[in-house]
Amino acid sequence: MNLCNLGVIKRILAEHGTDTKKGFGQNFLINPQIPFDIAEESYCYHIQNEKNDAPCVLEIGPGIGALTNELCQRYERVVCVEIDKTLIPILDTTLSEYSNVSIINEDFLKLPLQDFLKEHFGAAPVSVCANLPYYITTPIIMKLLEEARSEGRCAFTSITVMVQKEVAQRLCATEKDSEYGAITASVSYYGRVKKLFDVAPGNFHPAPSVTSSVIRIELYKENPHSVKDEKTLFSVIAGAFAQRRKTLLNSLSSYFSHISKDAIAEIITSLGFDINIRGERLSVDDFCRLADKFYEEKQK
Ligand code: SAM
């Protein structure tokens, strides 16, 4: 069954008395080359970096199974989490030929991720691969990075996902680019982000209003960034970007109202930064140094 054929998609949905739901960010792929390429990018990276284990993958939002079908042909074990209960009987049919897949009907954002990973994959290395629902792209990515963390790094091998092109540009930006923001700095603490390819709206049903991009977050096995306290790092990043048009000093002093502006100014200049610098000029290593100073200040 060609799960990317528009006629097939419409017929399957109608047979099950359902249709695509905007509220769940449902834009299904209708060009089979796209799920093929996404799965291939995810799997090739996984086997190059995890040579000795049975490859495992987590998919968020399988829809009717177009990408899942490609993942099942490559990975040993596929676990997918789909929020829409009307799609579960459809997936049971479209994926019936595979014995290596489990379909879980849950809201991914509400899953206790550490326990979930242990239950479904044990200690095996896992990659994430998905065509993400755009209304919750950032919360999903941050959950994957923050909740699957162990010993200062994210537990996944890589996260290969389709996102809106604009989000991809933000994720791939450097501190020299206007797209650089809190999410860029946060994600680059955990790994490198690589843009793979763009996908035009006409490749989906229904067509979204914007172009999409497939990116891969390649997680560090050894984190090259060191920081005394990760919680402080993420609050300093949030504070630095809380008021984008303000200087780093003004943005941080509104955010950390319990620390005096003079003390924050002293921290900024002690690191060799101009007092008028803006948050978007700081690299992740700069944020780590800044966070260490804030952490020391907290211990006083
Ligand atoms: N993978 C399919 C494809 O590529 O054709 C569908 C992708 S569609 C863009 C996003 C999918 O995520 C939908 O199936 C939607 O129901 C599901 N979804 C939306 N919110 C979710 C959530 N919170 N947890 C799990 N799945 C969710």
Specify the ligand 1 atom closest to the Cα of 81. 25
Residue nearest to atom 10 of ligand 1 (CA): 133
pLDDT at position 154 is 83
Pocket of ligand 1 (CB under 6 A): 24-29, 60-63, 66-67, 81-84, 107-109, 131, 133, 136
Cα 111 to Cα 58, 81, 115, 118, 123, distances in angstroms:
13, 9, 9, 12, 18
Confidence of residue 299 (pLDDT cuts 50, 70, 90): confident
245, pLDDT greater than 80: yes
Using a cut of 0.85, tell me whether the model's pTM lies above it.
yes
Angle at 248 between CA 230 and CA 173, to 5 degrees: 70
Confidence of residue 266 (pLDDT cuts 50, 70, 90): very high
Specify the ligand 1 atom closest to the Cα of 64. 2
Residue nearest to atom 19 of ligand 1 (CA): 24
Q: pLDDT tens-digit profile of 67-126?
A: 999 999 999 999 999 999 999 999 999 999 999 999 999 999 999 999 999 999 998 999
Residue nearest to atom 2 of ligand 1 (CA): 63
Confidence of residue 269 (pLDDT cuts 50, 70, 90): very high
Q: What share of the chain in percent tops pLDDT 90? A: 90
CATH architecture group of domain 6-219: 3-Layer(aba) Sandwich (3.40)
Element (H, E) at 251: helix 248-255
Tell me the CA–centroid distance for residue 132 and ligand 1, in Å: 6
According to CATH, the topology of domain 230-299 is Helicase, Ruva Protein; domain 3 (1.10.8)
* Region for residue 107 given its phi and psi (left: phi exceeds 0; alpha: psi -120 to 50; beta: otherwise): beta
Structural domain boundaries of the chain? 6-219, 230-299
Tell which residue, 63, 67, 71, has the closest CA to residue 90. Answer: 63
Q: How many CB atoms lie within 10 A of CB 18?
A: 17
Q: pLDDT tens-digit profile of 117-154?
A: 999 999 899 999 999 999 999 999 999 998 988 777 78
